[in-house]
Structure 1
Amino acid sequence: MSKKRTSALPYARSAAMALVALLLVVAGTWASWGTAQHVLLSKGREHGTLTVTGCSTDVCTGRFDPEGPAGPRADMTIDHSVAVEKGGRYAVVVKPDTTELVRTGWSGGLHAWLPLGGALLLAALVIGGGMRLPRLAWASASAGGALLVGAFFAL
């Protein structure tokens, strides 16, 4: 009788691919959290409406009208993206101790989580191709795609 020897190589490959997929998802979450925390945990922060008056390549500026007794301010900025255009009015929240604003509501939340959506799509390729787990890959791709499509239609 011959003894059947199994190689550790397939297990090492799967472990390495799992580590890469995990790294992608963690990086996407980390990149999203910088903005998403202000949208999700906005209680106790200053809310208001921004009317965009001008945009440069990186940021847009405008008149910020806060809720409550405080008066309007003109020194506030918001990141320039396809979601912000000159003349638009947006519900926003102020990042603490800055003059930066973040959009709130569904559109702001979905926009903040866009990096995670892209990371889930990339992780799906690693999961499907490297780990050979097609169902988990399709689930990851579906979640990432739904996030990206949802943000597209919300903005």
Structure 2
Amino acid sequence: MSKSPKFMVFHLKELIYTFILIVLGIALIITLVLMFRKDTTTSAPASDCTYKAGVYSSYITLNGNPMEIQVVLDDNHINSITIENIDDSVATMYPLVKPAFEDIANQIVSTQSLENVSYNPESQYTYSVLYNAICDTINSAK
């Protein structure tokens, strides 16, 4: 057996394709890591800001008539919760909507919490629909 040197011949085109493939693979891995990592940078610590300040709205529909729920928040407080654009037909057909809404809104604003909101058992459905809409609106601000 002779020990003759073995030569490998690479074509320049194959080297370029291999280099491009490696660069694209590294770029894909970096992109995936950046996309799926948890974002640890925040503008303020969680203990300092509870909400993003602003006016938040959501809509609920009763019998085809939309009502707008507006929640005004600053960084740490729920300032007000109001119901806007309530049609007269909704107020007539559902007389418990306004008092139930005002009751829930007053409880949430006074306690600054969505927990332990009491309601009248006779109008449980009305309270639950309004409470869920208010919670969704406030949770969108977190």
What is the TM-score with the length of structure 1 in the denominator? 0.26
Higher Rg of the two aligned structures: 2
**Structure (1 or 2) with the greater strand fraction:** 1
Q: TM-score, normalised by structure 2?
A: 0.27
